[in-house]
């Protein structure tokens, strides 16, 4: 379908697709098997000037919007969701700086991200604070003109590799979520250490670690925005990032459909290609239809955000929810279309099915997405007579 992309968007998409084809696909199985962090590919992306798409030109980026971001994410995820997650998580860590950073903070941190010399991470989750982000227990106690951070963040994508970590911590424990604030914690700050690499089901090229903060003394200029903004900053960051998860799902599902259809054309049973069986065609038809619907939704939400819309919480949650559920179903069906071959690691759909699962879990589970959408609908319909 023609989504009326501008010439610039098409060029960007072509470039990201080329990197996915030439640099990611040939090594994705190995990255997954060896659980290797994809620094070489990050360097390729930096060289292609793709690390600063959403960073304003004033800080060395391309100053592009959400639509361009989803196009790149979709293309990279068609190569490997583990690699694409690494790239996307860096923007997740950068959004708080873009949204709430002071001029000095932006000047200090954004150019290195735009050049791809540094990665970022976003650290919200803790052992007792998963879906319930208000349960964060990490503290940032004021001590003269410093803050002292203590606590442990769990399952943080890019942790240990990222130079720049946005960390949510309580500056006022008594206020709960309203007492949360956001800080920039540098990888080398004294008192910062990282846990072991988690062993994951999928996206194994991406890295997930704990961030341990022990008496980490930060000057005041590491606070993003002001005290008490941490929860709002988190919600606004996730609203911007969720269409990106939708884009990862679309790229992944496209790749799974391509693999399954190509296989079904070649595989013969009962003297005919299995794609000739209507049962297989119906599987493929459902996969293709749901995929296109998800793509249209992700693009529509991205364009809605770029139009300057003030409230896109519900739309962003819908894009994440629908697309990630779609990708899970499509990858399961891709394995089905390929039968036993699909179950073998030799074929990429086995990895795709494992990779799809996380898209229903991180950046808010799909149960939480339904809560967010339901809450918004309740508000909307309560206002109507």
Ligand X SMILES: Cc1cc2nc3c(=O)[nH]c(=O)nc-3n(C[C@H](O)[C@H](O)[C@H](O)COP(=O)(O)OP(=O)(O)OC[C@H]3O[C@@H](n4cnc5c(N)ncnc54)[C@H](O)[C@@H]3O)c2cc1C
Out of 9, 281, 336, 371, the residue judged to bind ligand X by CB under 6 A: 371
Count of CA atoms in the C-beta half-sphere (13 A) of 101: 21
Helix spans in the chain (H) = 7-19, 28-34, 39-47, 66-79, 81-100, 103-114, 230-266, 278-306, 313-338, 340-343, 348-359, 366-383
Q: Which residue is nearest to ligand X (CB)?
A: 130
Count of CA atoms in the C-beta half-sphere (13 A) of 353: 19
Binding mask 157-196 toward ligand X (x if CB under 6 A, else -) reads: x---------------------------------------
Region from 109-117, 118-126, 326-334, 339-347 binding ligand X, contact rule CB under 6 A: 118-126
The answer to whether residue 200 forms part of the interface with ligand X (CB under 6 A) is: yes
Out of 124, 229, 284, 337, the residue judged to bind ligand X by CB under 6 A: 124
Nearer CB in complex with ligand X: 27/368: 368
Active site (annotated) includes residue 266: no
Out of 123, 253, 298, 352, the residue judged to bind ligand X by CB under 6 A: 123
- Please identify which of the residues 126, 198, 363, 380 carries the catalytic annotation: 363
- Report the distance separating Cα 26 and Cα 41, nearest Å: 12
Which residues does 369 contact at the CB level (< 8 Å), separation at least 6?
242, 317, 318, 320, 321
The answer to whether residue 88 forms part of the interface with ligand X (CB under 6 A) is: no
- Report the distance separating Cα 23 and Cα 207, nearest Å: 19
From the CB of 363, what's the least distance to ligand X, in Å?
6
Which residues does 316 contact at the CB level (< 8 Å), separation at least 6?
238, 239, 240, 242, 243, 301, 305
Q: How many residues bind ligand X (CB under 6 A)?
A: 22
Binding mask 201-220 toward ligand X (x if CB under 6 A, else -) reads: -------x------------
- Pairing status of strand 192-194 against strand 208-219: antiparallel
Note the residue count of the chain.
Answer: 385
**Does residue 148 contact residue 118 with C-beta atoms inside 8 Å?**
no
The answer to whether residue 131 forms part of the interface with ligand X (CB under 6 A) is: yes
Nearer CB in complex with ligand X: 40/132: 132
From the CB of 364, what's the least distance to ligand X, in Å?
6
Beta strands in 81-119 (DSSP E): none
The residue ranges that bind ligand X (CB under 6 A) are 89, 121-125, 130-131, 155-157, 200, 208, 358, 361-365, 367-368, 371
So which residues are the catalytic ones?
363
């Amino acid at each position: 379908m023609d989504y009326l992309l501008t010439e610039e968007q098409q060029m960007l998409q072509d470039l990201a697709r080329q990197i996915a084809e030439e640099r990611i696909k040939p090594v994705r199985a190995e990255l997954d098997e060896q659980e290797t962090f994809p620094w070489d590919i990050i360097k390729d992306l930096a060289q292609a000037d793709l690390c600063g798409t959403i960073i304003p030109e004033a800080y060395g980026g391309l100053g592009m919007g959400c639509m361009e971001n989803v196009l790149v994410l979709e293309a990279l995820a068609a190569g490997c969701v583990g690699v694409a997650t690494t790239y996307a998580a860096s923007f997740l860590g950068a959004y708080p700086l873009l949204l709430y950073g002071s001029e000095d903070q932006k000047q200090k941190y954004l150019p290195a991200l735009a050049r791809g010399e540094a990665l970022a991470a976003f650290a919200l989750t803790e052992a007792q604070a998963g879906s319930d982000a208000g349960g964060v227990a990490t503290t940032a106690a004021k001590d003269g003109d410093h803050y002292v951070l203590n606590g442990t963040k769990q399952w943080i994508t890019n942790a240990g590799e990222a130079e720049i970590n946005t960390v949510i911590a309580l500056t006022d424990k008594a206020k709960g979520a309203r007492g949360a604030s956001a800080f920039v914690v540098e990888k080398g700050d004294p008192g910062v250490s990282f846990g072991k690499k988690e062993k994951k089901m999928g996206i194994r090229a991406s890295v997930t670690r704990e961030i341990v903060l022990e008496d980490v003394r930060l000057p005041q200029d590491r606070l993003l925005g002001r005290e008490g903004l941490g929860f709002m900053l988190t919600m606004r960051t996730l609203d911007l990032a969720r269409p990106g998860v939708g884009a990862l799902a679309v790229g992944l599902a496209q790749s799974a459909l391509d693999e399954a259809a190509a296989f079904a054309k070649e595989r013969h049973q009962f003297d005919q290609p299995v794609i000739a069986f209507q049962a297989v065609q119906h599987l493929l038809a459902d996969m293709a239809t749901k995929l296109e619907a998800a793509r249209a939704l992700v693009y529509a939400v991205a364009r809605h955000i770029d139009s300057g819309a003030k409230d896109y919480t519900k739309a962003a949650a819908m894009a994440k929810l629908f697309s990630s559920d779609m990708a899970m179903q499509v990858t399961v069906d891709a394995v089905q279309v390929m039968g036993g071959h699909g179950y073998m690691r030799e074929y990429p759909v086995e990895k795709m099915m494992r990779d799809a699962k996380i898209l229903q879990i991180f950046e808010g589970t799909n149960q939480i997405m339904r809560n967010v959408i339901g809450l918004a609908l309740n508000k909307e319909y309560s206002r109507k007579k």
